[in-house]
Chain A
């Protein structure tokens, strides 16, 4: 239909093609190249083979960062999945004004991590923070969350769950709305109780969505950076809870160890791919596709 095909392709496709080529494809290959050099931003890069990768696996801080990242995931993932699924089921119930609530749970999702971190630094303040006031009300004694190295990770996990439940609940809600009512009607006839309906209908039929949420949140939590960086900055714990991406940032932009930090980012990428592949294999055991 269009006569000037070449002209259209040149004017319409070229900008996005060049952009993706430079900022994605070339950047990726370039970082792979840097990861095999000793480049420090100044001077010329020297090829040093897999030295950076070997250094990483001998670096104490790498294991610390990996441990903290895994610690974050083990605390964050189960809680955020359970709470957001529960919320999605509440939002899916047919009570009035339910969309009004949906809007409220979304407030933390649209706000930036920096803003949320600032607010939660106040909430978690040991002297006047609301969290410790509540704990004191029940007779307990709250810790100095962000100042104490053993409490900073639980505090960050708590904040992250709070921020993300609205986001994941919306995705779960989409999945719940896709489950046909006829299953529940049939279960009603068979006198299945609520718990049976939940475990025998909702969970299996929701499993594709759960799988998607799981993949998404694991990838996101391996890349956790903003909240760790901002919530600990200015606190005595600032350098005490390194995770993978804060280590990448520190090595590249504080110590100019470009080779080491790009190698680190490829190791992180490798870990994410590995975990995703493992999940893809495991999903055959628990994800039911309804055909």
Chain B
């Protein structure tokens, strides 16, 4: 048994090393200067530790702005998605109306529509509404997803209706009941929706590539892909920018690891 455990540990450590080494390389290159990449000995690394490349990233490029864009767009997309999905999930869980089941099936059916089939018309739509190179274009389409509605409906259904009945008798309206009773009671569901939504928006590349072509609305993934010039790449600057783009989602992950894993096990969305 001891021997078996030792083998498991060795395999896990080897695997973990393979996962960490690329990130470690990113860190080293980001905090040293570009020359170091060709001769990476511990002594050289120690001698050339500096924050210069971060200074370059922020002074020569509009990186502060890109960082703000990414944060703002991801937060708006996440907040909008949570609110819209929770509201519709609440209706499907609690309100009776004609053709409700059919409508719900229709919602689920939209989950099967592939991204490629919708991305070009969505772009054309944004173009027609003169929304190219606006924040609205960046976050609006991401707000609507039937999966979130489905998830929230499941959570709301598990909450006993007696609570709402009591609140109703006390004279609370549906908006109050929704925000003060239902939402606080479904925090785990909201958290799963929040982390998957945020991660999706933060890491998105194709959609911003289509609708944000000016510098003012560039997000971090777009900036990164533009940063590597055709003939010369300053690796330190590139890795500092990469680090800046990974750090926020990493922080979210560290604090909400449970919900990331739950979200992936439940949804298969990454």
Contact = CB atoms under 8 A, between A and B. Distances in A.
Given A15-B88, A16-B85, A226-B206, A118 B114 contact: no
Nearest to B148: A16
Contacts of A113: 203, 205
Contacts of B21: 130
A159 to B, nearest CB: 9
30 contacts: A1-B165, A2-B174, A4-B173, A15-B84, A15-B87, A19-B143, A31-B117, A90-B12, A93-B5, A93-B8, A95-B9, A106-B260, A109-B270, A110-B250, A111-B203, A112-B203, A112-B245, A114-B203, A115-B246, A118-B238, A119-B22, A122-B25, A122-B239, A130-B25, A171-B268, A212-B268, A226-B206, A230-B225, A252-B123, A253-B123
B22 A24 contact: no
Interface of A: 1-2, 4-5, 7-9, 11-13, 15-17, 19-20, 22-28, 30-32, 34, 41, 87, 90-91, 93, 95, 98, 101-115, 118-123, 125, 127-128, 130, 162, 166-167, 170-171, 174, 212, 216, 223, 225-226, 229-230, 233-234, 245, 248-249, 252-253, 258, 261-262, 265-266, 268-269, 272
A167 B88 contact: no
A114 B225 contact: yes
DSSP class of B's interface residues: helix, strand, loop or mixed? Answer: helix
B12 A98 contact: yes
A19 B125 CA distance: 13
Interface string B92-132: 00111100000100010010011111111111110100000
Interface of B: 5, 8-9, 11-12, 15-16, 18-23, 25-26, 29, 37-38, 40, 84-85, 87-88, 90-91, 94-97, 103, 107, 110, 113-125, 127, 141, 143-144, 146, 149, 161, 164-165, 168, 173-175, 178, 199, 202-206, 210, 221, 224-225, 228-230, 233, 235, 238-239, 242, 245-246, 249-250, 253, 257, 260-261, 264-265, 268, 270
Contact of A265 (B37, B117, B203, B261): B117
A167 B91 contact: no
A229 B168 CA distance: 55
Nearest to A94: B5
B91 to A, nearest CB: 5
Given A1-B168, A2-B174, A106 B113 contact: no
Nearest to B199: A110
B125 to A, nearest CB: 7
Contact of A162 (B18, B88, B103, B146): B18
Contacts of B205: 112-114, 226, 229-230
B236 to A, nearest CB: 11
Nearest to B265: A174
Given A12-B87, A13-B88, A13-B91, 6 more contacts: A27-B121, A101-B12, A112-B246, A115-B221, A122-B29, A252-B123
